[in-house]
Amino acid sequence: MKSTGKSVIAGNAAYVRPIDFKKGRVEMGHGGGGRMTMQLIDTLFLTAFDNDILRQMNDQACFSVPAGRMVMSTDSHVVSPLFFPGGDIGSLSVNGTINDVAMSGARPHYLSASFILEEGFPLSDLKRIVESMAKAAHSAGVPIITGDTKVVEKGKGDGVFITTTGVGSVPDGIHISSELARPGDKILLSGTLGDHGIAILSLRENLTFHTSVQSDTAALHELVASMIQAVPAIHVLRDPTRGGLATALNEIARQSGVGIKLREDKLPIHEQVRAACEFLGFDPLYVANEGKLIAICEPELADKLLQTMRASPLGRDAAIIGEVIADPHCFVQMETIFGGQRVVDWLSGEQLPRIC
Amino acid sequence: MKSTGKSVIAGNAAYVRPIDFKKGRVEMGHGGGGRMTMQLIDTLFLTAFDNDILRQMNDQACFSVPAGRMVMSTDSHVVSPLFFPGGDIGSLSVNGTINDVAMSGARPHYLSASFILEEGFPLSDLKRIVESMAKAAHSAGVPIITGDTKVVEKGKGDGVFITTTGVGSVPDGIHISSELARPGDKILLSGTLGDHGIAILSLRENLTFHTSVQSDTAALHELVASMIQAVPAIHVLRDPTRGGLATALNEIARQSGVGIKLREDKLPIHEQVRAACEFLGFDPLYVANEGKLIAICEPELADKLLQTMRASPLGRDAAIIGEVIADPHCFVQMETIFGGQRVVDWLSGEQLPRIC
């Protein structure tokens, strides 16, 4: 029942004219639920995301699960600009939700994707984004099995917003959660800080600054799978996205009721990112990452976990960056390169709007 | 670890000033992922949606499931205006996704909710919407267990968009899907047509027309549960939302490879809705519903199913409105009140933009 490419179905749902993916633009009718919506689904989404469950074309997707613990995570993506060095809103929306599911130790199974399109948005850009999503989902082995498309009038949106939701299942015996950090635990980071945020900044209007830094957007579930195989007793996993490492660690400290002590000299940061941050007045601790994770475990297991992370391409720059301490105020502190101490506070306000 | 109301936490995550839910407005920082985002989550979302799973405050929610078939469904809600007679975007976004899950025969278990807020949106309106969502979720017994909040600049969104995703599990022995309609089957409709669309229209700008019609937004999962208990062999369930009854029946006809014959004299339509449609030139077959369902089953079971539906408050106006016929062209036809025949085609273009 599925059409491909520019074919036109006879009878029920005959399409008056094929969609022009070169020069065409999103029209209100693409979100009306009628013939134009069906045509867009047929020729774009079904063709790109093609899989057995999606092809059932019910208003919901049906799949089998084993008994046990499942996780669910959702994220709306409003990144601007839509295309940036190393990725686009499509790959970001797939990888971001896969990572949120994986940070519980779960194996991600399926994604849903819901689009809010702005009238007038070029269909060629939409096609490029959808194909990028499809590629990211295929490469991660996590299919997009259901979705929705809405259209808002020109000036009531901003090109395209994508909300992805993921489900996955947690292996038996794995208990990873942000309230499980304990004093004495070591804190590991899987790689360099701030690459995504600086890649986005490099494109923002009114910035004459240019760099070759690429977004680190990547799906981390295979790295996580290898980590929990080596060290099933990991206490906490978290991906430091919006608000950066500082915010993620403050959240963990607050939820676990502990303090955290970082060592600045151990933080992996690309030279270009460090230079860009100095030039622009940004602190790399607060700049967003989209392909990095924090792991916290007992000190005796930290070296084994570190070696496992470094054996993966997505963890080759991994480092032990600090430790968990007892602190009733739940502060995150950092020993600076110069031997001083500073408090690493929550992000106040908005440093980099629409980073993801 | 959760603050309530206007309390201010000491130490980690101390809030500089309480959120003003009377005169305050959404700021970019509410989507920054830092202190302001955390404060909004604490004082609004956690307080309203309060449940054990959400309170874990990980980037994903963890829950137990029995082995078997699960379903997942997602919908972005962009309805305009945000508040309308009988509901608002909050209750609509909860009920709409519960219904999409339930149309597989599944019992909905959990929802996620992701918000895209426009800078400058009144926090009092956001609070009203979130509390309406919480009330709808609580009343349906389907908790909101995880979510996300993003903020876009003024003029890049339209107040608030809400994407909800639902998961549920299908009881053993239930196989309901849009490709299972068979010639001879009877088509049942749970109640009156067009109430939601006309309620929205009554508020749209530039329309001087007024009516007392209320949106029919409602969660249908309890009705579905009683229907599948009485008639486990239901072939198809579908809620005729965007594009109305005409579009839903065309989708079913196409997916099942059958034709459909409706009887106009059997269609339940409120007098006010009929009058409004005549006045405005709308066809009630294409007007959206948010609390109605189509059921298709073998003719011998139709009376039992009809009686079961009528015994529920949400199905008291249920009627048998037509039957499935053999037709290689998969057309939907209607016998009119005057004894004529007309083809009920797909919705072309956009009749009522941003209806849900």
Instruction: Report the pLDDT value the prediction gives residue A204, as an integer from 0 to 100.
Output: 81
On the question of pLDDT at B64 being above 70, the answer is yes
Q: Given CB atoms, is B11 within the 8 Å cutoff of chain A?
A: yes
Give the tens place of pLDDT for each residue, B124-153. 999 999 999 999 999 999 999 999 999 999
The full DSSP string for A159-174 is: SEEEEEEEEEEEPTT-
Domains and CATH numbers, chain A: 28-170 (3.30.1330.10), 186-343 (3.90.650.10)
Per-residue pLDDT band at A67 (split at 50, 70, 90)? confident
Q: Give mean pLDDT, residues A67-95.
A: 96
- Is the CB of A33 less than 8 angstroms away from the CB of B347? yes
- Find which of A26, A58, A116, A154 to mutate to test the B interface (most B CBs within 10 Å of its CB): A58
Neighbours of B280 (CB within 10 A): 12
What Cα–Cα distance (Å) separates residue A57 from each residue in B73, B157, B165? Answer: 11, 29, 16
What number of residues does chain B have? Answer: 356
Instruction: Report the pLDDT value the prediction gives residue A10, as an integer from 0 to 100.
Output: 46
Asked if residues B104 and B171 have their Cβ atoms less than 8 Å apart, the reply is no
- Is the CB of B33 less than 8 angstroms away from the CB of A349? no
Instruction: Report the pLDDT value the prediction gives residue A58, as an integer from 0 to 100.
Output: 81
- Is the CB of A165 less than 8 angstroms away from the CB of B112? yes
Give the tens place of pLDDT for each residue, A286-310. 999 999 999 999 999 999 999 999 9
Sign of the dihedral defined by the CA atoms of residues B102, B105, B110, B113, in that order: negative
The answer for A 57-116 residues in CB contact with B (under 8 A) is 57-78, 100-101, 103-104, 106, 110, 112-116
Per-residue pLDDT band at B207 (split at 50, 70, 90)? low
The residue assigned the tokens 């939820």 is A255
**Mean pLDDT of all residues belonging to chain B:** 92
Instruction: Report the pLDDT value the prediction gives residue B219, as an integer from 0 to 100.
Output: 98
- Is the CB of A350 less than 8 angstroms away from the CB of B157? no
Instruction: Report the pLDDT value the prediction gives residue B349, as an integer from 0 to 100.
Output: 74
Closest CA to A112 of A83, A73, A169: A73
On the question of pLDDT at A116 being above 60, the answer is yes
What Cα–Cα distance (Å) separates residue A281 from each residue in A214, A274, A289, A344, B337? Answer: 19, 10, 18, 16, 73
Instruction: Report the pLDDT value the prediction gives residue B297, as an integer from 0 to 100.
Output: 98
Give the tens place of pLDDT for each residue, A191-247. 999 999 999 988 885 555 566 789 999 999 999 999 999 999 999 999 999 999 999
- Please give the residue that has the higher pLDDT: either B218 or B3: B218
On the question of pLDDT at B339 being above 70, the answer is yes
Q: Give mean pLDDT, residues B257-264.
A: 98
Q: Give mean pLDDT, residues A91-105.
A: 98
Per-residue pLDDT band at B6 (split at 50, 70, 90)? very low
Q: Given CB atoms, is B27 within the 8 Å cutoff of chain A?
A: yes
Per-residue pLDDT band at A14 (split at 50, 70, 90)? low
Instruction: Report the pLDDT value the prediction gives residue A210, as an integer from 0 to 100.
Output: 61
ipTM entry: 0.94
The C-alpha of B114 sits at a distance from chain A's nearest C-alpha, in angstroms, of 6
> b/e for B14-29, b at 16 or more Cβ within 10 A?
ebeeebebeebbbbbb
Cα–Cα distance for residue pair B182/B253, rounded to 1 Å: 10
Neighbours of B81 (CB within 10 A): 13
What residues in A contact B332, CB-CB < 8 Å?
A: 12
Residue B281 neighbours by CB under 8 Å, 6+ apart = none
Selecting from A104, A116, A242 the residue whose C-beta is nearest the C-beta of B33 gives A242
The residue assigned the tokens 């009887």 is B263
- Please give the residue that has the higher pLDDT: either A310 or A13: A310
The C-alpha of A269 sits at a distance from chain B's nearest C-alpha, in angstroms, of 21
What residues in A contact B1, CB-CB < 8 Å?
A: 179, 254-255, 257
Asked if residues A94 and A164 have their Cβ atoms less than 8 Å apart, the reply is yes
Q: Give mean pLDDT, residues A19-34.
A: 94
Cα–Cα distance for residue pair B207/B210, rounded to 1 Å: 8
In chain A, beta strands by DSSP E: 61-65, 68-77, 83-84, 87-88, 107-118, 144-152, 160-170, 186-189, 236-238, 259-263, 294-297, 319-325, 332-335, 341-343
Give the tens place of pLDDT for each residue, B151-194. 999 999 999 999 999 999 999 999 999 999 999 999 999 999 99
On the question of pLDDT at A34 being above 90, the answer is no
What residues in B contact A241, CB-CB < 8 Å?
A: 33
**Mean pLDDT of all residues belonging to chain A:** 92
Greatest alpha-carbon pair distance for chain A in Å reads: 76
Q: Give mean pLDDT, residues B48-73.
A: 90
Selecting from A60, A167, A330 the residue whose C-beta is nearest the C-beta of B100 gives A60
Give the tens place of pLDDT for each residue, A131-145. 999 999 999 999 999
Sign of the dihedral defined by the CA atoms of residues A115, B97, A34, B327, in that order: positive
Closest chain A CA to residue B60: A73
What residues in A contact B181, CB-CB < 8 Å?
A: none
